[in-house]
A and B are shown apart, each in its own frame.
Chain A
Amino acid sequence: MRFRATIENVNTFFRIIQAIEKLQKKCIIKFGEDVMSIICNSEANEGGIQVWSQIKVDSLFTSYRIQSNASNVITMALSSEALLATLKSASTSSKSAYETEEIVMKLAKKNDQAVLSFEISGMTRQGRKVRVAHDVKIEVMKPADVANLKEPMCPEPDVHIILPPLQKLRPIVERLRPMSDFLAVRANNNGRLQLSIRTDTVNVDTEWKNCKNTNKASTASQDTEPDSRDPDELFSVLVSTKSFFKFLNSHVVSTTTIACICQNHCMILYVYVGDLADAGGVLTFYIPGQLIDE
């Protein structure tokens, strides 16, 4: 098993992990030949939010080399906190004491412990060379366990809608969060999106009218189906406010976000990293619908 890569786009990698870390303290990363997948599927996770992301290797790494017996795929479980701390020290910010020049990430074994080793070489302001090394403990997953990782099954979504910028959504949901544990998300095929809460003391509905719909799924299947539906029909799903707020933490990385609603079942959110046309990757959030008696 061999793995070695140079991290070219450390700030993007950092932001992706930042969004993941807010969600879950441990995550699974599957390095493939072309695609890196970050998976959060822990059942312990409150509200049952899951992330299945696919990031193109080219968008983050260069000199990427991978070899393994499992058709050149390496799957590991690691602490997202530790990875975030490592990337933070590697990312170039005004605060850091040195300018990062190169970051090499590789798989290694130290004292019988598998680690993902990060070697950062940089230059201080005084022009001296620095080398910083971080080892993040990992657990390489057995192919049998990897095979058990399954993306959640979802029916064909009723509606696809492009969300307003997540930075705009975040303050709103932040206000709603202390008011209610559940948030209803509704959308139709006519550009309308609603977020609403219902409690004994207050009902709050926020509505956007000019969002864009996409129907990338329906073009793949039959084209006749969408026409038969009333575009103004609202589809709704009730999700945990906390889960939705956690998803909004991905605003640090998002450019375009598409929300799909499977009525009363779940919500799927595609967060595109980088431009939509030339996306370096996509983080897919699954938020299960909550059923409460009304």
Chain B
Amino acid sequence: MSQNGDEQEEAQLPPVLKASVHDVRYFAALLRGVNFVNRATVTIAKTGFVVVVEEARTLLGTAYIFADIFDEYTYNSESAAAPQNSQTSEPEEEEANSAFEIPLNTLIECLNIFGTAGSSGAGTGAATGKYKKWKRAGDDSDQEGDEDNGQGRRSSNGGARGIEHYFGNASDKATGMRMSYAGSGFPLTLLIAEDAAGPTTTCEITTYEAEPHLQLPFESDRIVLKIILKSSWLRDALSELDPSCDKLTFIGNPPPAAATNGKQRAANGTPMLRIQAAGTFGSTEMDYPNDRDVLESFECTRPVSFSYRFGHISRTLRALQSSTKTSLRIDDEGLLSLQFLMPSPKAKTEAATDAFIEFRCLALDDELV
């Protein structure tokens, strides 16, 4: 009974967010990358939305999900829809975003309700060349049929593009989704369906008022170490480590001036990049060779060594596993920024931006360790 009331209200105000996608796997994979704490802050803007998760006031996980991963994405600023809320003095950027908190795990479980949004282990984004042809056009047309709001529509060029899929899932079936958020105080509504003949699921996920979270600003002029490498190189190194480790240290040294692109490591034996892990049962050291094939770019201004809690670094593994490239940066106070490029299934055919997931982690205080 109360649902009818909600619907009427929705009809009056355009919803703050309306988005749809015919295959939720990529979206779900991005969310899963930061799914280490249940409560996530979602900030919606015109260009897409940002999901932020925080742990122990030390680790910040952020998934940047751009609007173009969706077939349709419409954002109506909440303050514009409600003029009595006079925030004209606020800077534009603040005004243009709506934020709420959401139980992230519940959202992911809902997306995966038919078991076709991919499991956590199925992320094989790095395994290139293994594309899956995926169900063709017509099947999502019935879902878009009742769409009258054309302004922000991204699917105008739909139909002709051959979308290939990265994730080598066992199932060929994909779950389509339509998402809407009517504004502060309203639930996030998801309409999920596998195909026209099958069942449809409606989920209403309660949203909470966003609370301010940890801010870890990363300034580019304070960077002391900056590396770009293939994710698989980092993934292999980190997955090699015993889970009982408690401390992980990144050691970087400026490359020897003479042999910047040389394949040989400098004779004096100081490694350019070393990952060192220490735990109760011993320690592990891994050196990366100075090789363009391994380290695509390497900038280091002075010798650095910062340690992090292994438990925090291992939180990044899920995102790392489905990413292709990693950017690792450390600033002069040891703040670590790991950015993982998440290959978009559309990127091959369209000028779509790949989404990425960023983790920022504070270094352990050396004197306390």
Contacts and interface: CB of A to CB of B under 8 A. Distances in A.
A202 B103 contact: yes
A209 B114 CA distance: 16
A13 to B, nearest CB: 29
A175 B113 contact: yes
Size bin of chain B's contact surface:
10 to 19
A167 to B, nearest CB: 10
Contact of B114 (A171, A200, A210): A171
B332 interface: no
Interface stretch (B153-161, B198-206, B230-238): B198-206
Contact of A202 (B114, B115, B204): B204
Interface in A149-204: 164, 168, 171-172, 174-176, 178-179, 200-204
Contact of B203 (A178, A200, A204): A204
B113 A172 contact: yes
A178 B110 CA distance: 12
Contacts, number: 59
Interface string A197-239: 0001111111111100000000000000000000000000000
Interface in B159-211: 187, 197-206
B203 A164 contact: no
B9 interface: no
A201 B103 contact: yes
A203 B200 contact: no
A210 B113 contact: no
Contacts of B202: 203-207
B201 A207 contact: yes
Nearest to B188: A202
Nearest to B208: A201
Contacts of A164: 199
B269 to A, nearest CB: 52
Nearest to B106: A202
Given A175-B109, A179-B106, A206-B113, A201 B197 contact: no
Interface in B325-366: none
A184 B110 CA distance: 17
A202 B197 contact: no
B103 A204 contact: no
A146 to B, nearest CB: 42
Contacts of B199: 164, 168, 172, 206-209
B112 interface: yes
A201 B205 contact: yes
Given A171-B114, A175-B110, A175-B112, A201 B206 contact: yes
Contacts of A200: 206
A205 B206 contact: no
A168 B284 CA distance: 46
A205 B187 contact: no
A201 B107 CA distance: 10
A233 B207 CA distance: 32
Given A172-B113, A175-B110, A202 B200 contact: no
Nearest to B110: A204
Given A178-B109, A201-B106, A206 B115 contact: no
A207 B112 CA distance: 16
A174 B119 CA distance: 14
Interface in B89-112: 103, 106, 109-110, 112
B153 to A, nearest CB: 27
Contacts of A210: 197
Which of the listed residues B112, B113, B197, B206 has the most CB atoms from chain A within 10 Å of its own CB?
A: B113
B140 to A, nearest CB: 18
Contact of A204 (B115, B197, B198, B201): B201
Contact of A205 (B197, B198, B201, B205): B201
Given A164-B199, A210-B197, A203 B110 contact: no
B103 to A, nearest CB: 5
Q: Which 3 A-B pairs have the closest CB atoms?
A: A171-B115, A203-B204, A206-B201
Interface of A: 164, 168, 171-172, 174-176, 178-179, 200-210
Given A171-B113, A202-B103, A208-B198, 11 more contacts: A164-B199, A168-B199, A202-B106, A202-B204, A203-B202, A203-B204, A204-B110, A204-B202, A205-B203, A206-B202, A207-B199
Interface of B: 103, 106, 109-110, 112-115, 187, 197-206
10 contacts: A164-B199, A171-B114, A172-B199, A179-B106, A202-B106, A202-B204, A204-B113, A204-B202, A206-B113, A210-B197
